[in-house]
C-alpha cells in the first residue's frame, strides 16, 4: 500500500502524491533540474545542500544506484521530487534501487505529482521554499513547518559541506607534476578526478583555511571549488582569495567562480529560478563557439560590476547571464558552469588543460 505524501509551497500551492524514500517531513528551497540521467550524482552534489530537487524527466530510478557514481560521501539534497520513481531497475553496475538508497539515508521524497505543473510554477514565480511530508497531511501544521525553513539568500551553507581537515585525492600515478591546493566549498569528486587526470597532485583543504596555510603547501596553483548557497556570506573565503590573487594561478568553478569575482570587486545576485541541468548552451566569447554545459547554480555574477581588469569569456545563450571570466593582470580564471560535467557533456573539459598551461606559464616567470 502506498503511503500518501504532500508537497506544500510557500505560495500556498500544494501537491498530493505518495511517499518516495524515507517517511518523514523535510523542507528547503524547491528547484528543478532538467537532466534526464545522473540522478545519483545530483543527489550527492554538495551544491544542492538546503534544496529539494524536482526532476523534470518523467521517470527516475530506472538504472538504480551504485557506489561509483557518487559526488560526495553523503546524499546532500533536503528532499527529492519526481513524477514516477521506477519500481524496477536494470544496470550491470546497480547495487540497489533508488527508493532503498533514499530510505537508508533518511531522505524524504515524493512521487506521483505533476512535476510539469510544479516546474511551471517555479519558472513563473521563481524558486521558493517548500515542505514535503509523509507523516502528516495537515496543511496548517505544514505551514508552521514551512515558516521555519530558512531562505537561501544570506545563508552560509559552505560550513555544512566543507571538509573538517586537509586530505589528499588518491593518485593513480606517483610524481604528478602539478601541486594543487583545492579550497573545499563543497567539491564534487569528478572535479578532483579531472584535475588528477590532467596531472595534478591535489590537497583538499577546508574553506576556512588561511592564505598562509594554503601557501605552506607550496602549490603550483589553487583551485576554488563548487558549493552551495549564497556566496556573499562566505566572507572568510572571499578574503582568503583576495589575499591569494596574483600570488598563484587560480581556477574557480561555480561557487568558486562567484567567490573569485567577489574577491576581485564584482557583485552577485540571486537568479529567479537558477540554472540546473545538463543541456545549457554557453557561447565562448574567445573563439565564438558554443559549448553545451552542465549547470547547477542559483546565484550569478553581475557583469556590470566587473572591474576593467576582468574579461568576460563565456555567456549563457538562454538568458545572457555571465558564465566565465579571466583576469588580464593576474593568472586567474573561472566559469559558472561545470566543465567536469557529471552528469553531462564533455565540451568544456579543455578548461582543466587551460589551468595546467597557466601553472606552466606562472612557473616559467618565477
Identical fold, 4-147 and 158-365: no
Residue 293 vs residues 55, 236, 314: alpha-carbon distances, Å: 18, 30, 11
Q: Retrieve residue 141's grid coordinates.
A: 501544521
The whole model's pTM is what? 0.96
How much is the pLDDT for 175? 67
| 51-55 and 25-33 beta bridge pairing | parallel
306 vs 329: CA distance, rounded Å: 14
pLDDT digits (tens, 9 = 90+) for 253-272: 999 999 999 999 999 999 99
| 221-224 and 268-284 beta bridge pairing | unpaired
For residue 85, is pLDDT > 70? yes
Dihedrals phi, psi of 124, to nearest 5 degrees:
-80, -45
For residue 91, is pLDDT > 70? yes
Active site residues per annotation = 254, 338, 340
pLDDT digits (tens, 9 = 90+) for 279-288: 999 999 999 9
Task: Using only the alpha carbons of the chain, give its radius of gyration.
Answer: 20
94 vs 89: CA distance, rounded Å: 8
252 vs 309: CA distance, rounded Å: 17
Overall average pLDDT of the 222-243 stretch = 98
Closest CA to 101 of 66, 135, 51: 66
How much is the pLDDT for 173? 63
CATH topology of domain 158-365: Rossmann fold (3.40.50)
How much is the pLDDT for 170? 84
How much is the pLDDT for 365? 85
286 vs 294: CA distance, rounded Å: 20
pLDDT digits (tens, 9 = 90+) for 99-111: 999 999 999 999 9
| 200-206 and 178-184 beta bridge pairing | parallel
**Is 196:171 a contact under the CB 8 Å cutoff?**
yes
Q: Where are the domains of the chain?
A: 4-147, 158-365
The CATH number of 4-147 is: 3.50.30.20
- SS3 of residue 198 by DSSP: coil
pLDDT digits (tens, 9 = 90+) for 156-188: 999 999 999 999 998 766 667 899 999 999 999
Overall average pLDDT of the 308-326 stretch = 97
26 vs 145: CA distance, rounded Å: 9
% the chain with pLDDT above 70 = 98
How much is the pLDDT for 1? 64
Amino acid at each position: 500500500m502506498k503511503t500518501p505524501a504532500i508537497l506544500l509551497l510557500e505560495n500556498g500551492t500544494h501537491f498530493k502524491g505518495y511517499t518516495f524514500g524515507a517517511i518523514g517531513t523535510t523542507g528547503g528551497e524547491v528547484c528543478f533540474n532538467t537532466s534526464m540521467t545522473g540522478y545519483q550524482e545530483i543527489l550527492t552534489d554538495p551544491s544542492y545542500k538546503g534544496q529539494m530537487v524536482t526532476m523534470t524527466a518523467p521517470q527516475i530510478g530506472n538504472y538504480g544506484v551504485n557506489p561509483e557514481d557518487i559526488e560526495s560521501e553523503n546524499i546532500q539534497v533536503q528532499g527529492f521530487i519526481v513524477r514516477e520513481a521506477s519500481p524496477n531497475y536494470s544496470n550491470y553496475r546497480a547495487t540497489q534501487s533508488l527508493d532503498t538508497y533514499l530510505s537508508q539515508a533518511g531522505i524524504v521524497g515524493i512521487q506521483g505529482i505533476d512535476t510539469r505543473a510544479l516546474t511551471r510554477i517555479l519558472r513563473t514565480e521563481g524558486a521558493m521554499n517548500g515542505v514535503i511530508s509523509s507523516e502528516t497531511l495537515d496543511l496548517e501544521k505544514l505551514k508552521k513547518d514551512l515558516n521555519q525553513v530558512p531562505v537561501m539568500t544570506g545563508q552560509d551553507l559552505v560550513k555544512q559541506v566543507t571538509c573538517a581537515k586537509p586530505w589528499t585525492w588518491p593518485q593513480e600515478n606517483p610524481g604528478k607534476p602539478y601541486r594543487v591546493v583545492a579550497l573545499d566549498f563543497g567539491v564534487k569528486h569528478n572535479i578532483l578526478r579531472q584535475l588528477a587526470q590532467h596531472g595534478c597532485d591535489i590537497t583538499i583543504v577546508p574553506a576556512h583555511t588561511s592564505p598562509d596555510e594554503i601557501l605552506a603547501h607550496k602549490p603550483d596553483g589553487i583551485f576554488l571549488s563548487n558549493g552551495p548557497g549564497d556566496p556573499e556570506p562566505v566572507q572568510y573565503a572571499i578574503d582568503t582569495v583576495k589575499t591569494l590573487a596574483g600570488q598563484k594561478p587560480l581556477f574557480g568553478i561555480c561557487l568558486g567562480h562567484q567567490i573569485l569575482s567577489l574577491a576581485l570587486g564584482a557583485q552577485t545576485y540571486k537568479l529567479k529560478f537558477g540554472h540546473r541541468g545538463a543541456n545549457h548552451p554557453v557561447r565562448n566569447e574567445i573563439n565564438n563557439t558554443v559549448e553545451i554545459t552542465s549547470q547547477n547554480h542559483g546565484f550569478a555574477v553581475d557583469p556590470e560590476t566587473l572591474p576593467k581588469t576582468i574579461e568576460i569569456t563565456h555567456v549563457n545563450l538562454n538568458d545572457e547571464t555571465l558564465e566565465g571570466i579571466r583576469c588580464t593582470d593576474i593568472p586567474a580564471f573561472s566559469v559558472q558552469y561545470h566543465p567536469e560535467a557529471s552528469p553531462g557533456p564533455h565540451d568544456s573539459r579543455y578548461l582543466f588543460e587551460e589551468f595546467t598551461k597557466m601553472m606552466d606559464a606562472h612557473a616559467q616567470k618565477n
